Amino acid sequence: MGVDIRSKTLTCHRWSSLHKLLAKTIGAASPGVFDNDGGRGEWTLLVDVCYQCLEDGLNNISGCDAWILAQLFGGNHVRSMAMSLAWLCINGLRLQDGLFAIYPSADRNERLSIALEDAWLDAEDLRGFFGYYEHDQKPEGYR
């Protein structure tokens, strides 16, 4: 397993610190406030589920990226900059796991927004976006 997501990588404190830095810089709401239980699922439970999937044979962190985006975007863990924080989190983990970074593409923003509306309940609809992003953004010569 490449990334130990139970380490400091995904802790509430780590993401609270990053959110504080980003949100304070641009004057966004509630800098540094990261609620483990935003009312739509506990962040620590998500980390445990991702870790269990990796232990059970998931090859890399890319299988958890839809869950991470769904929880950060819709889980009410932060009061501002949820999408930005989610992509930083996902790409930080991907890079640590030896994968390339991926980004949402402008041509699919409307469809992504619709998929995100209820994704905190079921992130499966988001998996297709990540497959598209990985295929479309794969660097030339990448394994």
Q: Which two tokens stand for residue 91?
A: 């790409």
Tell whether the model's pLDDT for residue 8 goes beyond 50: no
Confidence of residue 27 (pLDDT cuts 50, 70, 90): very high
pLDDT of residue 107: 81
Cβ-contact 58, 108 below 8 angstroms = no
pTM value? 0.79
Confidence of residue 119 (pLDDT cuts 50, 70, 90): confident
Tell whether the model's pLDDT for residue 130 goes beyond 70: yes
Percentage above 90 pLDDT, the chain: 5
CA angle 73, 106, 30 (to 5 degrees): 30
Which amino acid would we find at residue 36? N
Q: Is the model more confident about 39 or about 5?
A: 39
CA distance 99 to 79: 29
Q: Which two tokens stand for residue 104?
A: 């949402």
Tell whether the model's pLDDT for residue 7 goes beyond 50: yes
Q: Which residues pair with 42 in a beta bridge?
A: 37
Which amino acid would we find at residue 20? K
Which residues make Cβ contacts (< 8 Å) with residue 84, sequence separation at least 6? 22
Mean pLDDT comparison of 16-30, 43-57, 85-99, highest-scoring range:
16-30
Domains and CATH numbers, the chain: 8-137 (1.10.3290.10)
Mean of pLDDT values over 5-17: 65
Percentage above 70 pLDDT, the chain: 88
